[in-house]
Amino acid sequence: MAGRMTAPTALIPDQASLFAAAQQHLAQRCIQAPQHVSLACTDPGPAFACCQPTITHIRWDTRPVVRRVVRWTANLC
């Protein structure tokens, strides 16, 4: 059927504050992570160290992205 959408199976906010907002929004609708939806963050916020159970976060090396942006901007001139 056209126009049908399914609920997301995962949300990956890119900031700890957005993670908290998403978690609260889901909880207000009785949706629990990770029981009902996966919730991970791309920013390992320092407050996550205090959380039980631990908050899933993604660590990635930004250096290749920075190098590429620097090369790209150098080619603009």
% of residues, the chain, pLDDT over 70? 96
Determine phi and psi for 38, rounding to 5 degrees.
-80, 140
Contact 11, 39 (CB under 8 A): yes
Domain residue ranges of the chain, discontinuous segments joined by +? 10-74
Reading the block at residue 53, the tokens are 């159970």
User: Per the confidence metrics, is the pTM higher than 0.85?
Assistant: no
| CA 38 to each of CA 4, 6, 8, 26, 35: distance values in angstroms, whole numbers, following the listed order | 21, 15, 9, 11, 8
Q: Tokens 């029981």 appear where?
A: 35
The tens digit of pLDDT for each residue in 31-77 reads: 988 889 999 998 888 888 888 888 888 888 889 999 999 999 998 86
| Residue 39: φ, ψ to 5° | -135, 120
